[in-house]
Amino acid sequence: MAYFVPLLSTFLFFSIYCSQSKALSSNYYAKTCPQAEDTVMKVVKEEAQKDRRVPATLLRMHFHDCFLRGCDASILLSSKGKNTAEKDAPPNGSLHGFYVIDGAKRAVEAICPGVVSCADILAFAARDAVVLSGGPYWNVPKGRKDGRISRASETTLLPKPTFNISQLQQSFHQRGLSLDDLVALLGAHTLGFTHCSSFMNRIYNFNATHDIDPTLRPSFAASLKGICPLKNRAKNAGISNDPSPTTFDNTHYRLILQKKSLLFSDHSLLTTPKTKSLVYKFATSKAAFHKAFSNSMIKMSSLTGGQEVRKDCRVVN
């Protein structure tokens, strides 16, 4: 399967379009829009109360944004003419919370027109999503700019659920993220829902020897087959990532240790001594997970690559 992206080509792409911590600061809007973060939090909180799926989708949206051209809100741009944008690519097909960012942008524009980027609003919203789900708070570095390019074809550079540990490590390393960051950030899978398509390869025709991935607990694999039959499967069939899919806890790591993780990429964390030890650490200490996740989110969200402050998050100025 052609899931491996050569290290050099991906590194060159990312280094050309992205940089770490370019002009970001904690007090970037202290004088120009001090109410920005509170305004975004209010909108995110209201929308999360209406739809409990909102926090998971906002967090995933931020990840998918940062992992391509840096955190430049390119994922928010709409397709136009012959160009298909990132948001309309298969890896982003299940994202459904763009209206939340639109609402937050309108609210911020009403008090500080032309000041706060869509990229910063998305970074605030992702943090707020975690906080509203019982997770940690962190001070988001500010001052990102919005990008002007969004191409569906580039989403092939996103980490895939079929990745093994070396592929994951390369993908994160190309973005300046360490193994520690990798294990901590995959803990975001504690929120949300996974469609059958992301793990079907583990429960049917896994390889020439095994129909089912032998690293899956057999009883768990059987239950997944019941939810995701080969034929006549419901269109949006899938399963919650863990028993508490709206709570930002460390259950995900315990499921990995119990051989009940949905994604092959998550299970791959058990295949090297360092990543396995971190899984154990986070499975036994929610506080340790929350601290590591906050630090890694600050690091990831400091990848920048934009040029402007959009008036409308869906279109370039």
By annotation, the residues acting in catalysis are 64
Three-class DSSP category at 116: coil
How far are the Cα atoms of 35, 162, 183, 220, 233 from residue 236, in angstroms, in the given order?
39, 20, 28, 20, 8
Report the distance separating Cα 150 and Cα 88, nearest Å: 10
Three-class DSSP category at 238: strand
Report the distance separating Cα 22 and Cα 105, nearest Å: 22
Torsion angle, CA of 169/240/255/231, rounded to 10 degrees? -80
Report the distance separating Cα 37 and Cα 149, nearest Å: 26
Radius of gyration of the chain (CA): 19
Report the distance separating Cα 55 and Cα 241, nearest Å: 14
At position 66, the amino acid (one-letter code) is: C
CB atoms within 10 A of CB 273: 8
Residue 69 corresponds to which tokens in the numbers above? 């051209």
Report the distance separating Cα 102 and Cα 244, nearest Å: 28
At position 45, the amino acid (one-letter code) is: K
How far are the Cα atoms of 225, 253, 278 from residue 185, in angstroms, in the given order?
28, 12, 12
Looking up tokens 């030890």, which residue turns up? 277
